[in-house]
Chain A
Amino acid sequence: MKYLKYILAISSIAVLWAGRVAACGPYYPDSPGYIKIFRCCSPELESQWQEGRRFHDYEKYENCLLWQKITSPAIPLDDIEKVVYKVKLSELRNPADGELSDNWFAKWLSEPEHRDDLDYLLIAKEIEEIREYMNNPWYYAYDGDEEHVRLNGLMTRCRAYTGKRHAARYALQMVRMHFAKKDFRSCLKLWEESASKMQEDIVADIIASYVGGAYLRCGNREKAIELFTRSGDIGSLMSMKAWDEFEEKSEYTDMRVKQLEYIFNRFADSPLLSIKLQEYVREREKFVYHYEDSSLSNEERIFYGELKRFAKKAVASPRCHQKGMWRYVLGFLYYLDGNMGMASAYLKQAECSQVTPLLKESTRAFRFLMNGVYANNSAEYRSKLLCDLKWLDERMKEGTELNADDNWEYNNWMNWSVNYWQDVARKVLLGEVCPRMERAGNTTLALQLANYASNRIHQVAPMYEVYRYDSKEGESYTEVISFDDYRKTWEGFNYYDYSNQFFDRIYDSTADKAARYAERIEHPKSELDKYLNDRSYADTDYIYDIVGTLYLREMNYEKASHWLAKVSTDYQARTNIAKEGYFKLGPFRYQFDKEHFIADSSDYKLRFAQEMVRLDKMMHSDAEANRKADAKIRYGIGLRNSFGRCWYLTSYGFNSGYDEKTGDWLYSINRESFMWNAYARSAYKKVDVLMQEAVAEFTDPEKAAQAQLEMMNYATLIKKYPETKAAQQVKSRCDNYYDYGLEVR
């Protein structure tokens, strides 16, 4: 019964602690093996497709080029784009003023001889504004409503245009108006009577796309497919599942490959291919963890096999102008299969192909990855690594678009994907290079690289999103603060520094290895050291505190003192542990209560380490047996507490529960704590030995009894030292005391 109470008491404390302390972290980062870095299309292209199944950028660009052609090559395309796509009708009414005063296209339009062009744009803008309103949920259509009346007036004006210069454009506006009014028959009539005979360009393509839609709504699927194909409107073809007719003839079994084949056969260079390929390869990346693809289902295996087969066919096709992309796809798929020979061969081919700038960078990232696959601890590789890092660092600086205040990605305490180039850094360095360096015995470089991969992004984009709570309003809200403030002045927890992959790695390391890394920060030996130190979170307080804590964990108090003495009190006060209100329990007390909170928490860890050193010396060198025994008891209590109630002396995170394998109750059973648990077990054994030795070494029964009293071994105390003052005290208050001996933990 006594034990049950004990277990319940400890369990409830542990559960409470677990809830509180888990907030300190660490939060476990994703394995780098899961990070996806395959990239063959831009996020903008991807979102255009997802939002509207159209490639607006392409249409805009082509249309602006046409305008430039009919106006003046001296007018910049950006100026044309602004006038045609961005400004409102009211702004365009006075093209030479206000917002457009320095716009060359607006200036050109404001010249009297170009009135014809301005008139067209004014009409087009008005139609667009009306159409936009008609798509607004507030709009409610009825015969003769204001919007219909205005559209009818504009229709008359469009019909009245007799010139040639803008004939196609006016036709496009008329088609749009018919569409807005759901008058599809008039669309078809306009197409058949005039628009179909117009010169083929982007305007005619857009008209054809609308007319295809009109045919579809009127039930003529064949004609719709014809017009969508003519206009290159792959989105509409996909929406109407136009490949149904094509499907049976395909040599492939997987629908996704059939779709790719359909697209490729019609539009071999369609941007949609890059979107689809990115989707499929990234899906494949998901299954990979250290090249094991056991989780890939048979269906998926067939799909990726067919995808590779089709990619090879595409590369061989004379119609294909994106051979570099297909080779990149093939190389990456072979990498994911673990076939590094084929991966290297296709990567080499991709590097020699003509590709877009985006794909060129992606291919370079793949090269960095493949270099990582063959990483070793040679000077040659380290030199190559430095080159790779210099290239990567430039990309990270250029590619960081994390400046918007409302970017949720700043909230990175779960180590989510923040930025493509940081993903590349994490995937390659943490997933490939660090483990190889570790195996090759260069832990220092592994830690340097892990620090770079985890922290460089926060030098480049030094912002972090934090949660705040307004107690007056009772509402929580988020705020973006600088990373420096987050680390130094933010009153909440610093999740990131105790949860990222660098922390994970150093925390799983040994104290000596961590110390060697810390020394390399102080004394860099090579250009690579300097380069990485400058681009990492090399705050010595942070690193020394970790090293010192690891030495405490390893019970090496001399070395712990050395490192902890270098940690500033300012830093100690802003750690999560201090913020949570720990560092209050005296680590050499057997029992704890509020009355025994220590008044001064500064240098808590250091003072503990120094006291342990002093006690250790006494244990070994004091000539007086009772003092020696006392020192052993005090040392034993300190050692036990450092892996128990005062766990924060040896750890940064804490949890509790039963070890599934052994059934033992453990203070910490989470992933980060295997090593901690091993040290804890050894510490407990040492405590038992010390206590037994101490009890045997006492020569003064009063002191021996007092020690037993402090350790709450009441039964032993009364049995062995019945005549002492301590025994009398226990006997007089026996109801309050239980024998919670040290052996019962």
Chain B
Amino acid sequence: MKKYLSLIIWLICSLPLLSCKESSPSNDGGNNCVYYWRTTFSLSDAEKEFLKEHDVKKIYLRLFDVDYKYSEKNECVVPEATILFYDSIPSGIEIVPTVYITTAAMRTMQTTESGYAEKILKRVNAICRKYNIAFKEIQLDCDWNKSTREPFFRLCESVKRGIDSTQSLSSTIRLHQLTQTPPPVDRGVLMVYNTGNLMEMTTENSIFSLKDIAPYLRDDRLSEYRLPLDVAYPAYGWSLVFHPVGMSDSDDGKYVFDRIMRRTDIPDFPSLKKIGDNLYEATSQVDFSQGENWWDRVYENYRIKTERPTAEEILKVKELIDAQLSGKPHDNIIYHLDEEQLSHYSNNEISEIYTRN
């Protein structure tokens, strides 16, 4: 009996632990986080509820982009699309100011990276001072490649020198960057989205596709990667518009990428005929905003591809990633906080994405 008693006690103690794995996934060395990637900061009730429900500890908040803008007289590398605050920051949530840097800007700031590091930091500090945001971490997001790697790394080094000892620097890591030396930052966020070429109509799903992601994860790359990683998963969808070329006979049947549309309610339009799994063709002109915006329409023969990863697909990839990161505490981040986008996923699905094994 004594033997059984100890087993019963063990079971009683273990049960709550097993059950809280689903509902409270953040107590195993990592946090639930989210990106905020809009140009205005205001949270709807549903978004506030999302933060509470999933115990989100950290918001990666995009403050501004750094882009190249041609100017004869003035500076060419400039901040763009600075966020406007219409809401206060919710208490108890850590904010990570995030700056997106275009590759064109990166190329242009070569050899003057330290000056730009200073400017970026000064501006981040100014925005945070104005809105009372105390931050411990700052993140740089850049799709650097071989030609922009060196300047980006120099920029990171300069930013690191500019922050104080209590602060850290992180950067996003795209899948194609995994094969290269990690940037000189304290942590990286592995971006597991935007994995395919959105310009190609034949791409199965440019946001997220196991087929595209798997090759990047071979050879146990993540466990070998010389930088602590957190992981960002997508929870968004979009529609991609393609227009027919048709200028000559040889162009027949060719489609060219036209634009991205936020809306994905394409099946609701009778003039958009389904011709593939997620592909639609316009049988006549469709005016999405009913005449308000001339550009918000598609014409006969235009094609629209809808893309939105399912939770099931995300979880399959997550399994691969978690296997490589086991034993390494990491945050799971969802891209991005947007009521409409998140409404396509159930609370359970989101919880599963946040879960760490």
Chain A contacts to B: CB under 8 angstroms: 136-145
Q: Which of A136, A137, A140 has a CB less than 8 Å from the CB of B126?
A: A140
Cross-chain contact A141 with B126 (CB below 8 angstroms): yes
Q: Is the CB of B130 within 8 A of A138?
A: no
User: Which chain B residue shows the least CB distance to A140?
Assistant: B126
List of 6 A-B pairs having minimum Cβ-Cβ separation, nearest first: A142-B130, A140-B126, A137-B78, A138-B119, A140-B123, A142-B129
> Within the assembled complex, what's the spacing in Å between the Cα atoms of A145 and B128?
12
- Count of B residues near A, CB < 8 Å? 12
Q: Which B residues touch A145, using CB under 8 A?
A: 126, 129
Check: B127 CB closer than 8 A to any chain A CB: yes
> Can you spell out 28 A-B residue pairs with CB atoms less than 8 angstroms apart?
A136-B74, A136-B75, A137-B74, A137-B75, A137-B78, A137-B79, A138-B75, A138-B78, A138-B79, A138-B119, A138-B122, A138-B123, A139-B123, A140-B82, A140-B123, A140-B126, A140-B127, A140-B130, A141-B126, A141-B130, A142-B126, A142-B127, A142-B129, A142-B130, A143-B130, A144-B129, A145-B126, A145-B129
Q: Mark B108-132, 1 if CB is under 8 A from A, else 0.
A: 0000000000010011001101100
List, in ascending order, chain B residues with CB within 8 A of A140's CB: 82, 123, 126-127, 130
- Extra inter-chain contacts (4) besides given A142-B126, A142-B127, CB under 8 Å: A137-B79, A138-B119, A141-B126, A142-B130
Residue from A136, A140, A141 having most chain B Cβ neighbours under 10 A? A140
A150 to chain B: closest CB distance in Å?
14
- Provide the bound-state CA to CA distance between A142 and B74, in Å: 23
Which B residues, 202 to 219, have Cβ-Cβ distances below 8 Å to chain A?
A: none
Report chain A residues within 8 Å CB of B129. Answer: 142, 144-145
**Min CB gap A567→B, angstroms:** 43
Name which residue of chain A comes closest to B129, CB basis: A142
Question: Which DSSP category, helix, strand, loop or mixed, fits chain B's interface?
Answer: helix
Within the complex, what minimum Cβ distance (angstroms) separates B103 from chain A?
Answer: 16
What's the nearest-Cβ distance from chain A to residue B173, in Å?
27
Which residues in A have their C-beta under 8 angstroms from that of B78? 137-138
Residue in B closest to A135 when the chains form the complex, CB atoms: B74
Chain A residues with CB below 8 A from B126, complex form: 140-142, 145
Chain B residue with Cβ nearest A147: B126
Q: How far is the CA of A13 from the CA of B307 in the complex (A)?
A: 48
What is the CA–CA distance of A143 and B129 in the complex, to the nearest angstrom? 9
Closest to A143 in B: B130
**In the bound complex, what is the Cα–Cα distance between A252 and B82 (angstroms)?**
48
Instruction: For residue B3, give the distance in angstroms from its CB to the closest CB of chain A.
Output: 68
When C-beta atoms are compared, the residue in chain A nearest to B63 turns out to be: A140
Q: Residues of A contacting B122 with CB < 8 Å?
A: 138
Q: What distance in Å separates the Cβ of A230 from its nearest Cβ neighbour in chain B?
A: 31
A136 to B130, CA, bound (A): 18
Task: Compute how far the CA of A638 lies from the CA of B89 in the bound complex, rounded to whole angstroms.
Answer: 87
Which residues of chain B in 43-90 are interfacial with respect to chain A, using CB atoms and an 8 Å cutoff? Answer: 74-75, 78-79, 82
Query: Min CB distance, A190 to chain B, in Å?
Result: 28
Q: What residues on A are CB-neighbors of B130 within 8 Å?
A: 140-143
How many angstroms between the C-alpha atoms of A379 and B164 in the bound complex?
A: 87
Closest CB in chain A relative to B148 CB, distance in Å: 16
Interfacial chain A residues near B79, Cβ < 8 Å: 137-138
- What 1/0 mask marks residues of chain B from 183 to 226 whose CB sits below 8 Å from any chain A CB? 00000000000000000000000000000000000000000000
Q: Chain B residues with Cβ under 8 A from A144's Cβ?
A: 129
Chain A residue at minimal CB-CB distance from B80: A137
CA distance A91 to B122 in the complex (A): 25
Q: A143 to chain B: which residues have CB within 8 Å?
A: 130
A139 and B79 CA atoms in complex are apart in Å by: 9
CB distance from A738 to the nearest CB of B (A): 28
Chain B proximity of A257: nearest CB distance (Å) = 34
| Residue of chain A at shortest CB distance from B130 | A142
Chain B: CB-nearest residue to A144: B129
Q: How far is the CA of A622 from the CA of B187 in the complex (A)?
A: 97
List the B side residues contacting A136 at CB < 8 Å.
74-75
User: CA of A348 to CA of B127 in the docked complex: distance in angstroms?
Assistant: 66
Q: Which of B82, B119, B126, B127 gathers the greatest number of chain A CB atoms within 10 Å?
A: B126
Which residue from chain A places its CB closest to the CB of B120 in the assembled complex? A138
Report the Cα distance A140→B79, complex, angstroms: 10
Nearest CB in chain A to that of B131: its residue: A142
Cα distance A143–B78 in the bound complex, in angstroms: 22
Looking across the interface, which residue of chain A has its beta carbon closest to that of B123? A140
In the complex the two chains form, what is the Cα distance from A19 to B189 in whole Å? 53
**Which of B93-151 touch A at CB < 8 Å?**
119, 122-123, 126-127, 129-130
User: Whose C-beta in chain B lies nearest to the C-beta of A136?
Assistant: B75
Chain A residues lying within 8 Å of B123, measured Cβ to Cβ, are: 138-140
Task: Kindly state the separation between the CA atoms of A139 and B123 in the bound complex, as whole angstroms.
Answer: 7
Closest CB of chain A to B272's CB: distance in Å?
Answer: 40
CB distance from A475 to the nearest CB of B (A): 13
Q: Cα distance A351–B127 when bound, in Å?
A: 63
Q: How far is the CA of A137 from the CA of B119 in the complex (A)?
A: 10
Q: In the complex, which of the residues A138, A139, A142 has the most CB atoms of chain B within 10 Å of its own CB atom?
A: A138
Q: How far is the CA of A138 from the CA of B116 in the complex (A)?
A: 10
- Select from chain B the residue with minimum beta-carbon distance to A138: B119
A138 contact set on B, CB distance < 8 A: 75, 78-79, 119, 122-123
* Bound Cα distance A141, B129 (Å): 10
Please name all residues of chain A whose beta carbon is closer than 8 Å to the beta carbon of B127 when the two chains form the complex: 140, 142
With a cutoff of 8 Å between Cβ atoms, the chain A residues found around residue B119 in the complex are 138
The residue of chain B having its C-beta at the shortest distance from the C-beta of A142 within the complex is: B130
Instruction: Give Cα distance in the complex from A144 to B125, angstroms.
Output: 13
Q: Which residues of A contact B82 (CB under 8 A)?
A: 140
Could you say which of A136, A137, A145 has the most chain B C-beta atoms within 10 Å of its C-beta?
A137
| Complex Cα spacing A138 to B74, Å | 12
Q: Closest approach, in angstroms, between the C-beta of A448 and any C-beta of chain B?
A: 41
C-alpha gap A145/B130 in the complex (Å): 9
What is the bound-complex CA distance between A313 and B126, given in angstroms?
58
**Minimum distance in angstroms from A137 CB to a CB of chain B:** 4
* Identity of the chain A residue whose Cβ is nearest the Cβ of B82 in the assembled complex: A140
* A356-B288 Cα distance, complex, nearest whole Å: 60
Residue numbers in B under 8 Å from A137 (CB-CB): 74-75, 78-79
